[in-house]
């Protein structure tokens, strides 16, 4: 069980007052708020050990120890076999584009690259660019417009002996669908393809196990799961060692340095360690769930327990919001709208209204200090496929620190639209 009120006390942003109101943050899919310990860790880094990597002096050695802990912590978060397989960068998009340059060098003319029309463009354009540069062919996995789920039959048919790269998201950042990514990965492996998974949108909502998913690469961003602006890429050791990395000549060939371009965001990585400590603390307080993660112990176990507990709590948040919107038929929910299907989605609910544009809805909520995004959320293929361009949709993005009371206030605010 989550004591949301107690957890909210750790987030200064959630307790501020703007124009006489306590804001309601439903903008989590664009970036979550951070607990105070993250802020403190970043300030502490900058004031006590702000130094570059690899020095013989005290502050550099302390800094390197923090960076090492960041790699180890993210390996635990993703259940990666080794901390050496964790690569950091500015964000997922930057890391995907970096990896795409390597992919372009290993693809051959006539090879096939598969991308999805349900995905954020950061999991589409990098691979399309790589295909264009190498002479490979792009294949598109479609989705079902009526419920926002991937067309698995379509994916199965597209896979073939020429398929070399399959990119799929764990969850849609636009409509919240949780994809059957492990199934697609299994099919891809049957034809000898590499699999890249975009976990940016799923990461704040549930446990991630790269070994169970069966992928070759997976990326996420710390600022989407209560941390600083840091991008994370996991890759299988063999591929990270063998693939050509665009790097400076003095950079060593050892992992993960050969994939990290330039000095990293050290204070951000210090904050990321604090983020993982926050989540692990939630897990340590809910150890009645440990049976779900056999073979895990310590922080790795605690992190996965935490995300499972968060996932269960968020399913009830989703149910409350979807039930409320179902009772208000003037708002059309995109994707899985049935409250009984909360296990098949994350608590990201997007909607349209025939009488108002998404921007007008967002502005109406913003006047009441309810923060929500409008637009296409970089899910351009989806927005075009649903005929929603150029205005897109309104996205209400819940995370674990949101409350049932905030959902009720949001529904009341929507009712107030004349």
CATH number of the domain within which 18 lies: 3.90.1150.10
CA distances from 341 to 65, 261, 325, 336, 337 (A): 44, 42, 14, 7, 8
In the numeric block, which tokens belong to residue 179? 């994809």
In the numeric block, which tokens belong to residue 119? 């995905």
Residue 286 belongs to some domain of the structure: no
Q: Tens of pLDDT along 344-357?
A: 999 999 999 999 99
Residue 222 belongs to some domain of the structure: yes
CA distances from 86 to 72, 257, 397 (A): 8, 10, 28
Spatial neighbors of 153 by CB under 8 A, at least 6 apart, are none
Judge whether 97 and 362 are in contact, CB under 8 Å: no
Q: Tens of pLDDT along 302-351?
A: 999 999 999 999 999 999 999 999 999 999 999 999 999 999 999 999 99
14 and 106 within one domain = no
Q: Could you count the other beta carbons within 10 Å of the beta carbon of residue 99? A: 26
373 and 272 within one domain = no
Residue 288 belongs to some domain of the structure: no
Residue 202 belongs to some domain of the structure: yes
**What pLDDT was estimated at residue 309?**
96
Q: Provide the phi-psi class of 22: left if phi over 0, else alpha when psi is between -120 and 50, else beta.
A: beta
pLDDT of residue 289 exceeding 80, the answer is no
Residue 357 belongs to some domain of the structure: yes
Q: What's the mean pLDDT when you consider all of the chain?
A: 97
d(CA 119, CA 121): 6
**What pLDDT was estimated at residue 249?**
85
**What pLDDT was estimated at residue 250?**
83
Does residue 149 sit in helix, strand or coil? strand
Q: Tens of pLDDT along 17-38?
A: 999 999 999 999 999 999 999 9
385 and 398 within one domain = yes
317 and 173 within one domain = no
What average pLDDT score do residues 215-224 get?
98
Does residue 34 sit in helix, strand or coil? coil
| Cross-strand bridge partners of residue 393 | 375
**What pLDDT was estimated at residue 273?**
98
Residue 204 belongs to some domain of the structure: yes
Buried b (16+ CB within 10 A) or exposed e, 261-286: beebbbbbbbbbbbbbbbbbbbbebb
pLDDT of residue 192 exceeding 80, the answer is yes
Residue 291 belongs to some domain of the structure: no
Does residue 329 sit in helix, strand or coil? coil
Give residue 106's pLDDT band: very low, low, confident or very high (50, 70, 90): very high
- Which residues form the domain of 32? 4-36+300-415
Q: Tens of pLDDT along 364-414?
A: 999 999 999 999 999 999 999 999 999 999 999 999 999 999 999 999 999
**What pLDDT was estimated at residue 375?**
98
150 and 254 within one domain = yes
Give residue 292's pLDDT band: very low, low, confident or very high (50, 70, 90): confident
What average pLDDT score do residues 10-17 get?
97
Q: What are all long-range contacts of 155-162, with beta carbons under 8 Å and residues at least 24 apart?
A: 155/114, 155/184, 155/187, 156/187, 158/112, 158/114, 159/114, 159/187, 159/188, 159/190, 159/191, 159/193, 160/112, 160/191, 161/191, 161/192, 162/110, 162/111, 162/112, 162/137
Least confident span in 212-221, 279-288, 345-354: 279-288
Residue 24 belongs to some domain of the structure: yes
Provide the number of structural domains found in the chain. 2
């Amino acid at each position: 069980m989550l004591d949301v009120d107690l957890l909210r006390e750790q987030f200064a942003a959630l307790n501020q007052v703007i124009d006489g109101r306590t804001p309601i943050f439903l903008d989590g899919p664009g970036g979550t708020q951070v607990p105070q310990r993250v802020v403190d860790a970043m300030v502490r880094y900058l004031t006590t050990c702000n130094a570059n990597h690899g020095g013989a002096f005290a502050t550099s050695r302390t800094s390197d120890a923090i960076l090492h802990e960041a790699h180890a912590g993210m390996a635990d978060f993703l259940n990666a076999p080794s901390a050496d397989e964790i690569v950091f960068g500015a964000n997922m998009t930057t890391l995907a584009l970096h990896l795409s340059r390597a992919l372009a060098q290993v693809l051959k003319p006539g090879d096939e690259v598969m991308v999805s029309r349900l995905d954020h463009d950061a999991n589409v354009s990098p691979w399309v660019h790589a295909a264009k540069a190498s002479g490979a062919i792009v294949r598109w996995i479609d989705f079902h417009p009526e419920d926002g789920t991937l067309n698995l039959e379509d994916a199965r048919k597209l896979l073939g002996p020429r398929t070399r790269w399959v990119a799929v998201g764990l969850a849609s950042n636009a409509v919240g669908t949780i994809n059957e990514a492990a199934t697609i990965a299994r099919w891809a492996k049957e034809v000898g393809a590499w699999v890249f998974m975009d976990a940016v949108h799923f990461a704040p909502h549930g446990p991630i196990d790269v070994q169970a998913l069966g992928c070759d690469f997976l990326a996420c961003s710390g600022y989407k799961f209560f941390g600083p602006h840091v991008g994370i890429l996991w890759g299988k050791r063999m591929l990270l060692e063998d693939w050509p990395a665009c790097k400076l000549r003095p950079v060593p060939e050892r992992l993960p340095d050969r994939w990290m371009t330039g000095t990293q965001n050290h204070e951000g990585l210090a904050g990321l360690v604090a983020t993982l400590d926050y989540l692990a603390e939630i897990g340590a307080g809910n150890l009645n769930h440990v049976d779900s993660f056999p073979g895990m112990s310590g922080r790795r176990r605690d992190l996965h327990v935490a995300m499972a507990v968060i996932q269960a709590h968020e399913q009830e948040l989703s149910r409350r919001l979807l039930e409320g919107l179902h009772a208000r038929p003037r708002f059309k929910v995109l994707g899985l709208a049935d409250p009984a299907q909360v296990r098949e989605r994350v608590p990201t609910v997007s909607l349209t209204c025939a009488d108002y544009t998404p921007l007008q809805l967002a502005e109406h909520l913003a006047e009441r200090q309810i923060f929500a995004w409008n637009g296409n959320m970089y899910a351009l293929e989806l927005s075009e496929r649903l005929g929603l361009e150029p205005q897109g949709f309104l996205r209400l993005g819940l995370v674990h620190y949101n409350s049932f009371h905030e959902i009720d206030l949001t529904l009341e605010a929507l009712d107030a639209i004349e």
